[in-house]
Structure 1
Amino acid sequence: MFAKVFKVKSNTVMKGSDRRKLRADVSSSFPALSTENLTELMPPKEELNIVKVYAHKGDSLTIYVHNKNPIMFELEKTLYPTVYTLWRFPDLLPTFTTWPPVLEKMTGGADLMLPGVVVPSTGLPAVEQGRLCAVNLVGSRAPVAIGVATMSTREMLASGMKGKGFSILHTYKDQLWAFGDKSGPPVIGPVETEAAPEGEQEEQLDSHDVLPDTHVTETLLQNLSLIEIAANTPQVDEDIAVEEGSEEAEDCESYQLSPQEAMDKLLNQCFFHALKHKVKKSDLPLLTSTFLRNFLFSCCPEGQQVDIKKSSYKKLSKFLLVMQQRKILQVKELSKGVESIVEIDWKHPDIRSFVAPVSEPTAPAEVMDGRAEQLYQPPEIISLYGISAKMLPLFQESSHKKGDLLTPSDVRSVVISYVKANELVHPENKNFVMVNPVICDCLLDKSEQHDVSVLKWDDLVTRCLERMQHSHQVTFPGASPVIRKGNIEPIDISVAQRASNKKVTMIKNLELYGLDPSLFASLLQQRVQASATCTALPGAKDRVQVQIQGNQLSHTAKLLLEHFKIPRKYVNGLDLSTKSGKKK
């Protein structure tokens, strides 16, 4: 939960009534804490702060801070202790033990798998499913993580200690720990200790001595040889192979496949993961570009990246066509040149039999929440110019035909070649081109044909472009280029007046740029805290416009230009944003 940086919404000093309520809630949630323990945890004459934050997955949490260290955090009206609190009261929660290498995995956001749990000779603590537990490392009782048990102790043992054991909420060295003074865990001797020589017993550390932060893991590893761990408990090897979709296992498996086969396998895995666990019926119809960016990419395991061009399919459209032939889904072109997924057969055997890897991708829903939406890439838009019958004489010498589409640079090159081939550069001033009969018929108006004998180079090219048929090509990431007639319609932002002098901001044409209107509306709504809806766009088939209460021009402009990197020339209505801020 705290693997990534969270956003602080507010940080205020707690009032006396709030302190008393928190004390009562902590006492109720953790009866093992005595009155003296509560006084030690929350001294009555010392300042307590309440910090409201948003986690990277969008969860709203409350953190209670004493002396710069978080002591408790609250999620959905449930209190949880931090590692700073557990270091002071190590017996507050039932504790399970794991190996030092597993801590790094948990700090990165992984849950604790049962093969990584050490089973002591006295047996595991008796807990029920859903019980909050602590996790420590071999050789020390100082907790380094807290999590919720996904099954009871009896079920853990019945499963042969396989599968996920604990959903980890908070760990030593995560961002919540970093919010405090970043101190290391104290050295607390293990519950089970073998009889040691008297000389060694005298040298044992006091339970309140603190081990330097930078040497905690190293010291534990020195005291406990990993070779001995592997020899004494064969579960460790299984843990490394099972826990959170072990990277070593994935690398080994990928090594045996060709790069193209490995990418095909990853693409299929992410595709079925998205269909089974991410896409809902209410999301349909779903733009294929939105599916790729917001659903398929988000299911990619951490440390890997889906690149369709490196697969055997090469293009998203070809991959979806294969899936359509397998009757897994149905794709239709609802708007010209823009394909959408309109139907998914969730009862298909391939979907039902798919088992998601143990490692969950991080923050899939944040694609539209200001972080992972970095995956969005604006489409590449190229202006094209078609050769009309009237303009054909100017392009025939370059072997072009009527209807051919050229880029502006191609048009310029053809014009320059034509002028030089026909020796039309003005002999006295090379900035001018002499008008011959072909140029006269193609580029001059009737009123100019008897008066204009020369044209500037720029004027010559500009006139040529203006008289050609305008088209544009749009290329979305992972999709084939789409060519449409005319110039692309810009994203239009406008403000309308409603009843009772209320204003509403409207945004349309988002689909043309690969932006899902409903997700855009949701993100904008979160930013401005105003209600937003998507309505059918009058006069446009299969198009919708986003409506949000109030004059939100500046927020919308910032979202489009800075966040999604849409070029300014493709956004209309930005001038209204500056005018609305001026008052006379």
Structure 2
Amino acid sequence: MFTKPFRVKSNTVIKGSDRRKLRADVSAAYPSLSADQLNELVPNKEELNIVKIYAHKGEAVTLYVLQKCPAFFQLEKRLYPTVYTLWRYPDMLPALTTWPQVVQKLIGGADLMLPGVVVSCTGLPDVLKGDCCAVTVKSNRAPMAVGTAALSSSEMISSGMKGKGVNVLHTYMDQLWAFGDKTAPPTIPTADTSVQVEGGMEGVDCGGGEEEVMKCEGEETEGQCGSAAVQMELPCQNLQDLGLGEREEKEETVETEEGAEETQGEEDSSSPQEQMDSLLFQCFLHALKSKLKKSELPLLTSTFLRKHMAPCCPRGKHLDIKKSSFKKLSKFLQCMQREHSLLRVKELTKGVDSIVEVDWKNPELRSFCVPVDWEPAEEAVEAEGSGEVSYQPPEITPLYGVTSRLEPLFQEAHKKKGAVLQASEVRTIVTDYVKTNELVHETNKSYVNINPVLCDCLLEKSEYQDVEVLKWDDLFSRTLSRMQACHQLQFPGKAPVVRKGQVEPIDISVASRGSNKKVTIIKNLEGFGLDPLVVAETLQHRVQASYVLHDVPGAKDRQLVQIQGSQVQHVGKLLIEQYRLPRKYIQGLDKAPKPGKKK
């Protein structure tokens, strides 16, 4: 369902009533979840958005996105967990097991066929037709796909394990997974490794169509499951590509010195979680000491992480709060406030924390020294995912096209109708034409005599009898004004693009909606190489307001951004300061409210 890119219709912050309704729906759909697990999936204060999308076949789907990661998707009033949620709670759904190679076909859009199902000693999970279920791989319980059962468990067995088993809706590495933080699946070992393969399975057919998944060859087991286990050889290449299953460790004989072994042992003594905690604390102190300025306070905690802590991460290391013992930025900052008294965090906006105060005289902060060998990473790590991307504005060059009326003037320069020139090239061609035809005035060199060609090209009919000479500046300005306006966009690292007409500026306007509510509308972002979705998400985090994307009528592949409130100042600041677009190409900045006393 999500094998191809989908279109985002709207992205709004969830309301309190919708949050409570979602918690009730999740509890009703998945009663096995405990109260603590339910609070983690639908927290009270964590960032939770409702994203409405259209799949590539036109299905309307609602996503519930928790901290930039889709947690659930709703289709036809039914709630399904994503693989991100199932990796946290693998026992949330009944699961059918398959081989690692089969997942490649599922990712391509195929459904799970019963000949590719691995039946464990305990048999198939108890499912009814239409029940929501997951798909795992042998040797790893982390679900790789989510779908609905095509048959009940008893019908699967009675059919001889032939036919379709699961109608797959969402898989690891599809577009819904890519909408999140794109983490790889964890390795969750299975309790029982012996398997019994039902049905005649002949080889692994890697060349099958999308709707038929592989069949695996094996010996049929007789009697109890524990008496004989099926031995199957699986290609290692598929396992390495997907990062699934158990990887065979190759023994290598390497001669090392005793001192090197001791050093390695000391480095490995601390767990990965402790190492991430240490790195997190180092980047935190580094950011406070050398990055954060007092004038920036109060500052959103998410902005502090993205723009201050992430750039302090040493080259070659990855800052990931989820791999630390804190798991969340809010818990880490609470620890820094409670145990170290380094800063004070306050909820200035409902559900949004900000750093309001820093103790610059704290002994730990004052004694911290930036590592001598520290070098900034080439690319800052976005630990929380900000939606902002590296952008370089295009170089815009005005151009002029030769029209049929001016073609005789440019004929000597071998420029035909439709030729595109810069202003300096037009000036040179006109100057050469005047000098070649000896049209410079005999007594006053600042004037040019008008010959029949210049008369037809540059003069109006009412001027034919009266105007005999023109000044040089007037000659050039008349020539440029009678040429077709064009412009060239040169994006860094890309071939230049020439377009007809003047540069269409980005238009910012404020409109009123129901109950006299204001909304800000932004048009023509695509003309400057900006993605409306990225701009909308960036603004959403800056102003904490919901946005909606609308298709522009009559314009193919064009969308406008509508964001709640009068946000002209914030939009202008984003486009001018972050995206570095010239002010002259932004229309509507004068509609921003003037600072002053409120009446």
Superposed pair shares fold, TM > 0.5: no
User: Which is helix-richer, 1 or 2?
Assistant: 1
Q: Given the two structures, how large is their TM-score scaled by the length of structure 1?
A: 0.41
